[in-house]
Amino acid sequence: MSAIKFNEVTFNYQNADTILNKISFNIEEQTTTVVLGKNGSGKSTLLKLLMNFEKPKSGVIYLNDKPLDEYSILERSKQVAYVGQDIFNQFDFSVEDYLLFGVTNALGMFKSPKKEHYEKVNEFVTKFDIKYLINKKMDQISGGEKQIAMICKAFIQGSKIIVLDEPLSALDFTNQNKILRLLKVIKNEDKTIVFTTHNPNHALYLDSNVLLIDHNEIVINGKARSELTLENLSKVYGDTIGFSSEHSYNEFSIKNDEI
């Protein structure tokens, strides 16, 4: 059973050119998939379709082998959690209150979080090592801290699939590394992770699967470390890319803890 399946999905925004043209792919359970592509290639659109924020013009998207639009909003939230982009301008809820939004799908319409939900939040706060944040306001913490809080909320939500929209793009070098390491740790839990990024190195670092979108189609679909070859990437990014080992200087990269 695949967690996510796109079957000949076509999409375009109103009065605009086709963005995705009959794309099909499978994502298996408990895998990490990195969606790559140039700006405007349709990476984010793919995630929006997956989250049902936009609906395909044709084709079907399956979640656990059941068509996505047959899920109710509530049911869907139990299957997929979403980590969006920074929306926390003027968002002066405390981090704890924000994390509690993750338990919404476990609460009745007129109910508020109870002691057990605070305990659940507390458990994940400890796990993500952000206890020092919980009384701070969401709009006063750093970009990296916000990203960790958002991922933490997705875990509190308890969904098996976690979708992240460019979790690394707005972060500085240190924070990128921090989040990448976090994603690597998460990879070993029973979660299915899908996220978009500009940087092919992220997929290599995580040893994940990769979907590369170019010209409205998926041009690479497979294991990052075998499929992301210089030859393949040149087709998309042009012949201006190469290996940093060919530089006359050493390029910095995230530390790799593998042997």
Partner 1 sequence: MQSKNKTIVYIIGFTLLLLGLFVIAILVGRYTITLDNFLKIISGNNAAPTVDRNIVINLRIPRTIVALLTGMALSVSGLVYQEIFNNKLVSPDLLGVSSGASVGAALAIVLGFTGLVVSCFSFVFGLITMLLTLLISKVFRSQSSVFLLLAGVIVGGFMSSSTGLFKYLATSDRQLAEITFWLMGSFSSSTYSSVLILLPIVLVGVLAIFLLRWRINVLSLGHNEATSVGVNYKLLRMVIIVSATLLTAGTVAIAGVIGWVGLVIPHIARQLVGRNAKRTIPVTIIFGACFMIVVDIISRSFTSTEIPLSVVTGFLGTPIFLTILYMKRGVVSERD
- Contact between 204 and 225 (Cβ < 8 Å): yes
How many residues of this chain interact with partner 1, rule: CB under 8 A? Answer: 36
Residues 149-168: x/- map of binding to partner 1 (CB under 8 A)? ----x---x-----------
Q: How far is the CB of 223 from partner 1 (least distance, A)?
A: 28
Using the contact rule CB under 8 A, the part of the chain among 35-43, 99-107, 171-179, 199-207 near partner 1 is: 99-107
Can you read off the two tokens belonging to residue 4? 């996510």
SS3 call for 103: helix
Can you read off the two tokens belonging to residue 25? 């792919």
Tell me the residue type at 213. Answer: I
Please say which residue, 139 or 214, places its beta carbon nearer to partner 1.
Answer: 139
Can you read off the two tokens belonging to residue 225? 């470390």
Can you read off the two tokens belonging to residue 50? 């997956």
Window 108-137: residues binding partner 1 (CB under 8 A): 109-113, 118
- Contact between 153 and 99 (Cβ < 8 Å): yes
Q: How far is the CB of 55 from partner 1 (least distance, A)?
A: 12
Please say which residue, 62 or 101, places its beta carbon nearer to partner 1.
Answer: 101
CA-based R_g, the chain, Å: 19
Q: How far is the CB of 221 from partner 1 (least distance, A)?
A: 25
- Contact between 10 and 58 (Cβ < 8 Å): yes
SS3 call for 247: coil
In the complex, the residues that contact partner 1 under the rule CB under 8 A are 14, 48, 51-53, 73-74, 76-78, 80-82, 84, 87, 89-94, 97, 101-102, 104-105, 107, 109-113, 118, 139, 153, 157
